[in-house]
Structure 1
Amino acid sequence: MPRRSATMLASLLTLIALLFTALLIIPVPYAEMSPGPTYNTLGKDHKGMRVLEISGRKTYPTSGNLNMTTVRVTGPEYKMNLFEAVYGWIADDRIVVPHDTLYPDDKTPEQVSQESAEEFSQSQEAAKVAALRYLKIPVRSHVVVGTVFKDSPAQGRLHAGDVIKEVDGTAVKGPEDVGKLVTRHKPGQKVVFTVVPADKARQAEKRGTEPRETKQVTITTGKAPAEKGHAAKGAGAKDRAVVGIQAATDYTFPFSMNIRLADVGGPSAGLMFSLGLVDKLTPGKLTGGKFIAGTGTIEEDGQVGPIGGIAMKMIAARGKGAEYFLTPKDNCAEAAKHVPGGLTLVKVDTLKDAAHAVEKIGKGDAAGLPSCAKS
């Protein structure tokens, strides 16, 4: 080979090696989503623990699958390189998204993780309430102190879990009532809370009775902090009185329901948890032995909400053997564009819709169920 040709070839090979090295070492501001594990809410998790455990109430045998689905994401500290990003863009079983879509710059990785864990916990409680209300089993609710903010007037005076009965002698029926009653005051004025202390409330719950041992707590209101980036709206809005708590709704269940699933976050398993509870608490095998998967948030009233990563969740479900996929109405158009072969989408808007669909599938009568169409 002539010396000039050999030199050119060597240079070309060196350039290719440099470009390939650059692909491997140059970080890009992206993260990756891929199909994650799925778990049968009627069965056990990867540690051999039952996902749903019910005690104090008669349960019934189940069969088949009601699988909740997950998405696997790269961690907040992971630095994706250019080669991985390009591969993710062209692969069918991965989605590449801007890093700050999953991990916003204004939140630490710990805050993102904590929020995900809280959403998962809240979805579990909502799933229990929705299932019992669907089955017309009474559920008692209370307005409680959900959060006490640091350095607020309420710190040390009220505590998370305190049951709020009255504010200034007016009965509290919902969390929104607390803010309305407090803001009748001006900053610096006193407001009186009638509460059942959290420890007394827990004792009453164990006894299965209503918490009644109340005490009055007087708090001097403070001024609401200015919202960052927003001007005060309306006359006097900047002088709105606050005590520094976030009210929430807590529920007392007539029997014990535990949802055990480690290393999972976010709210999207709510629907499948509710369906699992419904199946276990009612006679007959709801699925008829069929493999059904799905996703969707759940509200206490049974409303099903949309989720993220629908394409990856469908791939995960089909990979495990699912034949039907319960799809939130607002995810239907997107899901229909990416549905894997052999998977039938069933559109649902409420827990009632979903339970009806599962029953129909279980009986082999799924032909008339609402499906998802491309937009």
Structure 2
Amino acid sequence: MYDERHERRKMRVLLGIATLASLTVLAAVIPSPYAIERPGPVVDTLGDVKIKDETMPVISISDAKTYPTSGELNLLTVTIVGGPEHPASWLSLIPALVDPSQRVAPRSEFFPEGESEKDREAANTVLMDSSQMQAAAAAFRQLKQPVSVHLDVAGVSENGPAEGILRKGDRLVEVNGKRIADFVDLRQSIVSAGADNPLSIVIERDGEKQTVSVTPRIPDGGDEPMIGAVLSTSYTLPAKVDISLSQIGGPSAGMIFALGIYDQLTPNRCLTASP
């Protein structure tokens, strides 16, 4: 016997299921403007890491006496899911919303306008390399070993004070007759000289020293004088330090690297830390 009410109820249920399924499919494929920040791999900087099927120590030091280590110094990482080229779907956000170890935030918080995933990866690689060098320098300095600092011009601002005077690759040696100790020392010299007062800077260019004059200016929106040059810092260390990591970038691991290097260079130490 045909039951119209039963059939209508059945149709409503089927329609509800179909609607829910459609919404789920759409939520799974429609990109959202959000990204997910979640815990990444943990690496023991005193241990080994596997890269391209080869196992190697995370930190290796050549041309220096090293000592056995014990304990762990863990490097914690963060993974970002949902970049401009591979956006996170609305459906993928749901697990992150209920997991306290994950965070959902606007994608622009991690990728500024116009920055691609490749751009971010390249920038993080540079930051990681710089962090590793600074960590090694800090460890050797703590051991009272000599570390030389070099400031090189990585770029010159258009229409800035240094345009046409400094070039990419120039190494800054002295300012106003005083040898430059590090970036902070140079910055203090520029600020102390004040705006519109020429600085006498000794540089090394193509292996030869020469003296140039740069007049710092206060940029629009700024409050301190600048010379309008982007500088990179490099170090000459008493021993070679290699840090092997794969697909990990950013600047935040400097302290744990410094501790790992210091631990290898000093006897009878046992450190356990998870920053």
Into which bin does the TM-score normalised by the smaller protein fall? 0.7 to 0.9
The answer to whether residue 21 in structure 2 is matched with residue 17 in structure 1 is: yes
| Residues 54-90 of structure 1 deviation map (CA, whole Å, 9 limit, x = unaligned) | 1121111223432211112114222222221122111
The answer to whether residue 264 in structure 2 is matched with residue 286 in structure 1 is: no
The answer to whether residue 196 in structure 2 is matched with residue 185 in structure 1 is: yes
Q: How far did residue 135 of structure 1 move? A: 2.4
The answer to whether residue 152 in structure 2 is matched with residue 145 in structure 1 is: yes
Amino acid corresponding to residue 102 of structure 2 in structure 1: R
How many correspondences in the alignment?
A: 262
| Residues 177-206 of structure 1 deviation map (CA, whole Å, 9 limit, x = unaligned) | 4533775436xxx75421233x64xxxxxx
Amino acid corresponding to residue 186 of structure 2 in structure 1: P
Amino acid corresponding to residue 251 of structure 1 in structure 2: Y
Correspondences of 1:225-264 after superposition (within 5 Å): 226=220, 230=221, 243-247=227-231, 249-264=233-248
User: For the structure 1 residues 164 and 108, does the alpha-carbon distance in structure 2 shift closer, same or farther, using more than 3 Å as the test?
Assistant: farther
Correspondences of 1:166-181 after superposition (within 5 Å): 166-167=175-176, 169=177, 171-173=179-181, 174-177=185-188, 179-180=190-191
Q: CA RMSD in A?
A: 3.0
User: For the structure 1 residues 5 and 151, does the alpha-carbon distance in structure 2 shift closer, same or farther, using more than 3 Å as the test?
Assistant: closer
User: For the structure 1 residues 130 and 13, does the alpha-carbon distance in structure 2 shift closer, same or farther, using more than 3 Å as the test?
Assistant: same
How far, CA to CA, are the matches of 1:73 and 1:183 in structure 2? 42
Q: How far did residue 155 of structure 1 move? A: 5.0
The answer to whether residue 62 in structure 2 is matched with residue 78 in structure 1 is: no
Q: How far did residue 114 of structure 1 move? A: 3.3
User: For the structure 1 residues 244 and 96, does the alpha-carbon distance in structure 2 shift closer, same or farther, using more than 3 Å as the test?
Assistant: same
Q: How far did residue 273 of structure 1 move? A: 0.8
| Residues 126-147 of structure 1 deviation map (CA, whole Å, 9 limit, x = unaligned) | 21122123223232334x2343
**1:276 matched residue in structure 2:** 260
TM-score by length of 1: 0.60
**Are 1:58 and 1:281, in contact at CA under 8 Å, matched by a contact in 2?**
yes
User: For the structure 1 residues 264 and 161, does the alpha-carbon distance in structure 2 shift closer, same or farther, using more than 3 Å as the test?
Assistant: farther
TM-score by length of 2: 0.79
Structure 1: which 5+ residue stretches go unaligned?
201-212, 296-375
Amino acid corresponding to residue 87 of structure 2 in structure 1: K
How far, CA to CA, are the matches of 2:64 and 2:86 in structure 1? 46
Amino acid corresponding to residue 270 of structure 2 in structure 1: L
Amino acid corresponding to residue 255 of structure 1 in structure 2: A
**1:66 matched residue in structure 2:** 73
How far, CA to CA, are the matches of 1:29 and 1:157 in structure 2? 42
Correspondences of 1:54-203 after superposition (within 5 Å): 54-76=61-83, 77-105=85-113, 107-142=115-150, 144-149=151-156, 151=158, 153-154=162-163, 157-160=166-169, 162-167=171-176, 169=177, 171-173=179-181, 174-177=185-188, 179-180=190-191, 183-185=194-196, 192-197=200-205, 200=207
Q: How far did residue 106 of structure 1 move? A: 5.8
2:12 to 8, 11, 19: 8
How far, CA to CA, are the matches of 1:285 and 1:172 in structure 2? 35
Q: Which runs of 4+ in 1 moved over 6 A?
A: none
| Structure with the larger RCO, 1 or 2 (CA within 8 Å, 6+ apart) | 2
**Are 1:57 and 1:255, in contact at CA under 8 Å, matched by a contact in 2?**
yes
Q: How far did residue 122 of structure 1 move? A: 2.0
**Are 1:145 and 1:245, in contact at CA under 8 Å, matched by a contact in 2?**
no
SS of the aligned residue for 2:73 comes to strand
SS of the aligned residue for 1:31 comes to strand
**Are 2:67 and 2:267, in contact at CA under 8 Å, matched by a contact in 1?**
yes
SS of the aligned residue for 1:45 comes to strand
How far, CA to CA, are the matches of 1:32 and 1:171 in structure 2? 47
How far, CA to CA, are the matches of 1:268 and 1:125 in structure 2? 13
User: For the structure 1 residues 285 and 28, does the alpha-carbon distance in structure 2 shift closer, same or farther, using more than 3 Å as the test?
Assistant: same
1:267 to 251, 264, 270: 251
**Are 1:34 and 1:93, in contact at CA under 8 Å, matched by a contact in 2?**
yes
Amino acid corresponding to residue 254 of structure 1 in structure 2: P
Structure 2: which 5+ residue stretches go unaligned?
none
User: For the structure 1 residues 150 and 49, does the alpha-carbon distance in structure 2 shift closer, same or farther, using more than 3 Å as the test?
Assistant: farther
